[in-house]
Amino acid sequence: MMCIKFEEDINNYELLLDKEMTNEEYESYIAEIMPLIGELVITFNRIDSSINIYIKDLVSNSFYEDEIPYIFISEMNYSSKINVLKKLYNYFLRTTQKEYKKDLEKIISELQKAGTIRNNIIHAEWDEVSKDYMVKIKTKVKQSGAVNIYRIINSDTIKKEILFIEDTQENLEKFDDEYMER
């Protein structure tokens, strides 16, 4: 999945002004992508919930002790959960003869990318969108100065990202099924 991104000096106001959508175009664009953004969020939340369950299952196999792992999980952000899940898988698989590390690195990378996709969509600045669907997703400060980072976000890109997140969910399930013996 190719994501077209570019950086532009924060003071370049001409970038979007030259390609500004009319109010009618903007309203149509937002109406088209809004349900897809909702679908993306729900799809992403399935992964987050799965990670919670896998962490809980790895830490406690007792139905009656479910509350204790969730005390910790509830205080963790998505990135922390991924790191803990990776460490738990490594801990439990380290003594096996299974060649799991390459597959684990792949699924961890996919989970991180899914989080980035979600953050780019959720935190995008939707009040300014160009006719070619360029949306500012963040501002970064570098040694050379501040830059805005833009990317194309339209219904096609969101649909592809939903598919990626669904595939990542499926890959996580496959990894757990293949390597963890419960």
Q: State the SS3 of the chain.
A: CCCCEEEEECCCCHHHHCCECCHHHHHHHHHHHHHHHHHHHHHHHHHHHHHHHHHHHHHCCCHHHCHHHHHHHCCCCHHHHHHHHHHHHHHHHCCCCCCCHHHHHHHHHHHHHHHHHHHHHHCCEEEEEECCCEEEEEEEEECCEEEEEEEECCHHHHHHHHHHHHHHHHHHHHHHHHHCCC
- Give pLDDT, residue 62: 73
User: If you average pLDDT over residues 115-139, what whole number do you get?
Assistant: 91
Kindly list the strands in the beta sheet with 125-129, ordered across the sheet, starting from the edge strand earlier in the chain.
5-9, 145-152, 134-142, 125-129
pLDDT surpasses 70 at 103: yes
- Give pLDDT, residue 53: 92
pTM of the model: 0.88
What's the angle, vertex CA 181, arms to CA 112 and CA 105, rounded to 5?
Answer: 25
User: If you average pLDDT over residues 133-154, what whole number do you get?
Assistant: 88
pLDDT surpasses 80 at 98: no
CB 164 within 8 A of CB 1: yes
User: If you average pLDDT over residues 59-82, what whole number do you get?
Assistant: 87
* Mean confidence (pLDDT) of the chain: 88
